């Protein structure tokens, strides 16, 4: 039974990530739409929630820089909500 709970959490994370990505992609497509030119700036405005400055790792052969920024827009949040609804439904 324990493996089922872990699998459920991983599937939930996959659903949420997919919903955020598809919502963000849809938001970028809608930003160029002339029919939604009046409300598009509000739908695709990015809100910075989390920002981690890039960390540099020097391995003398290669240098690696890693950073993370979480900037969802309103459409990607809507995608997350729809993904959560679909996960709970199925």
Residue range 3-44, pLDDT digits in tens: 566 668 999 999 999 999 999 999 888 888 888 888 888 888
Tokens coding 17: 């990530």
What percentage of residues in the chain have a pLDDT greater than 70? 92
Q: What is the pLDDT of residue 32?
A: 84
Query: DSSP characters for the chain?
Result: -HHHHHHHHHHHHHHHHHHHHHHHHHHHHHHT-GGGTTTHHHHH-----EEEEEEEEE-SS-EEEEEEEE---HHHHHHHHHHHHHHHH-
Which pTM value belongs to this model? 0.77
Q: What is the pLDDT of residue 34?
A: 86
Q: What is the pLDDT of residue 37?
A: 82
């Amino acid at each position: 039974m324990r493996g089922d709970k872990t699998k459920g959490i991983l599937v939930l994370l996959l659903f949420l990530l997919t919903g955020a990505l598809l919502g963000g992609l849809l938001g970028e497509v809608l930003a160029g739409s002339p029919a939604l030119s009046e409300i598009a700036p509000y739908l695709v405005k990015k809100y910075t929630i989390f920002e981690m400055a890039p960390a540099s790792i020097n391995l003398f052969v290669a240098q690696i820089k890693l950073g993370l920024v979480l900037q969802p827009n309103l459409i990607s949040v809507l995608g997350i909500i729809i993904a959560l609804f679909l996960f709970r439904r199925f």
